[in-house]
Amino acid sequence: MRSIPSTVTILAATLIAAGAAMPPLSHAETIGSSYSSTAPKDCRVFAGRNGVDDSTTRVCPGKAGYVVLISEDDLRETVSVGRNRAGASKEPAAQAWFGPFNSTTHTVEWRATDAKPFAIIQRWHIADNTDQDKDGRPIAKPMLAVTRLPPGAVCHVAYVDVKANPNANELARKAADEFARDFKCGKDEVKVVGASGRAVELTRR
- pLDDT tens over the chain, length 205 residues: 445 455 444 444 544 554 444 444 445 679 999 999 999 999 999 986 555 556 899 999 999 999 999 999 989 999 999 999 999 999 999 999 899 999 999 999 999 999 899 999 999 999 998 988 888 888 999 999 999 999 999 999 999 999 999 999 999 999 999 999 999 999 999 999 999 999 999 998 6
Strand partners, 109: 35, 121
Q: What are phi and psi of 39, to 5 degrees?
A: -65, 140
Q: How many domains does the chain have?
A: 1
Class of residue 11 by CB neighbours under 10 A (exposed 0-12, middle 13-18, buried 19+): exposed
Q: 81 lies in which domain range?
A: 32-203
Residue 64 within a domain: yes
Residue 8 within a domain: no
Q: How far apart are CA 116 and CA 80, in angstroms?
A: 17
pTM over 0.85: no
Sheet strand arrangement including 31-37: 31-37, 102-113, 116-132, 138-148, 155-161, 191-192
Residue 84 within a domain: yes
